[in-house]
Amino acid sequence: MTPAISSIRLPELAAAAATSSGAAQPASGAAFQDVLKDAFQSVDRLQKAAHASTESLLRGESEDLHKVALDQQRASLSFDLFLQVRNKAVAAYQEIMRMQV
Amino acid sequence: MLDPIASRLENYMDLLAARQKLVASNVANIDTPGYRTRDIDFQFEYMSHVDGTGLDVIEPDGLTVKNDGNNVSLDRESRLMAENALRFSMASTLLRGEIQTMKRAIDEGKSS
Amino acid sequence: MSLFGALSVSASGLAAQRDRATAIAENLANSETTRTPEGGPYRRKDVIFEPESQVSPFSAVFQAEFGPQAAGVGVAEVVEETRPPIMKYDPGHPDANPQGYVALPNINPAEEMVDLMGASRGYQANAAAMSAVKDMVSKSIDLMRL
């Protein structure tokens, strides 16, 4: 797990989202924790790919600067998307928790 | 704090700076009798994770020696100068990207 | 930091090429000078370059200097022409010798102009090197602005 990802306390959050979505299960569609998990794995995968192509460029194994640039952008975009998904998840969780029944 | 790629990028930039300094030397001595072109074996130094101290200064092959013993080629040095500058720019931009990603992660974490 | 050392190396290159251009300009201006305070016609001047390691007071502090030592350039000496002057037959000239010949400096303007072009090219190359290094330092400073 890259330092950036681990710094946003994902494991606790995923667990919290799982418990709360367990309490209010949607009728159909993917469970919310899976959406979060997929987004997270996607980010990790893309970041690793970006780092690998960067290293390859620095070593002189490849001259494809455009590939590195695109890989970095992909990783960055998916990270941003993930952050937003996570924020929404936290907001949803907090709203659900506020609903005293 | 940052991903290991960051220290590789830093190493890369150190080597580029050292190389550019040698290019500056070569250009300054382009008309100096007897002066030989200086360089470093960039690939080798990068792969051996040298940190800028203890670099081996070598003389590149294939340069023609002029009548006064000088073998500096302005074409080669100009090309190398441009290449070093571009690579440095690329590496610094990639490094910025790493730093920015970390910052975003930290900033987003603040609100929760 | 390697790059500041590179700046002073390029600066020495600029200075050396400028000295060279000055000597050439002097030669061109004096290509017809028949009398000098030392006696005799003007003697062509030439500059000899030699590598000079750059030690600024600042970098001396950082003699834990990382990276390779770079050599700048300096003017070792300014030499005067040793070839004999050109003798031209011109009895009416105030500096003509008893045989009617005037001693003129052994300066070929075409040769001087080619040399001047070399100095100019060298100067430009050093200026470009300095500019490239300055950009790199700038990029490094930008890393702090995030």
- In this structure, of A2-6, B74-78, C31-35, the range with the lowest mean pLDDT score is A2-6
**Cα A10 to Cα C47: distance, rounded to the nearest angstrom:** 70
Structural domain includes residue C10: yes
Chains B and C share 3 or more Cβ pairs within 8 Å: yes
Q: pLDDT grade, residue C1 (50/70/90)? A: low
C45 beta partners = C80
Q: Which of A54, A76, A87 sits opposite B5 (nearest CB)?
A: A54
**Cα C17 to Cα C73: distance, rounded to the nearest angstrom:** 9
Mean pLDDT of chain C: 87
Q: What is the pLDDT of residue C145?
A: 86
Q: Cβ neighbours of residue B69 under 8 Å, at least 6 residues apart?
A: B33, B34, B35
Q: Which of A3, A60, A86 sits opposite B43 (nearest CB)?
A: A60
Residue A21 has pLDDT above 50, yes or no: no
Q: Which amino acid is at C122?
A: G
| Average pLDDT score over residue span C122-126 | 96
User: Chunked in runs of 10, what are the mean pLDDT values of chain B (112 residues)?
Assistant: 89 93 94 93 86 77 91 95 95 93 84 59
pLDDT tens-digit series, residues C60-114: 555 545 556 778 898 988 998 888 888 999 888 898 888 999 999 999 999 999 9
pLDDT tens-digit series, residues A67-83: 999 999 999 999 998 88
Half-sphere exposure for A74 (CA within 13 Å, toward CB): 17
| pTM of structure | 0.81
Q: Which domain holds residue C18?
A: 2-83+109-142
Q: What is the pLDDT of residue A23?
A: 47
Q: pLDDT grade, residue A27 (50/70/90)? A: very low
CA of A11: how far to CAs of A7, A25, A81, B36, B103, in Å?
A: 10, 20, 18, 60, 20
Q: What is the pLDDT of residue A10?
A: 54
Buried b (16+ CB within 10 A) or exposed e, B71-81: bbbeebbbebb
To test the contact with chain B by mutation, choose from C53, C73, C145 the residue with the greatest count of B C-beta atoms within 10 A, namely C73
Q: A7 or C51: which carries more pLDDT confidence?
A: C51
Residue A97 has pLDDT above 70, yes or no: yes
Domain boundaries, chain B: 4-111
Q: Which residues of B touch A78 (CB under 8 A)?
A: none
* Contact yes or no for B27 and C135 at CB 8 A: no
Number of domains in chain C: 1
| Average pLDDT score over residue span C37-46 | 89
Number of domains in chain A: 1
Task: Provide the angle, in degrees to the nearest 10, between the axes of the packed helices C109-142 and C2-29.
Answer: 160
- In this structure, of A32-36, B48-52, C12-16, C130-134, the range with the lowest mean pLDDT score is B48-52
To test the contact with chain B by mutation, choose from A1, A58, A70, A86 the residue with the greatest count of B C-beta atoms within 10 A, namely A58
Q: B51 or C128: which carries more pLDDT confidence?
A: C128
Structural domain includes residue C125: yes
- Residue in chain C closest to B37 (alpha carbons) equals C71
Q: Which domain holds residue A80?
A: 3-22+30-98
Chains B and A share 3 or more Cβ pairs within 8 Å: yes
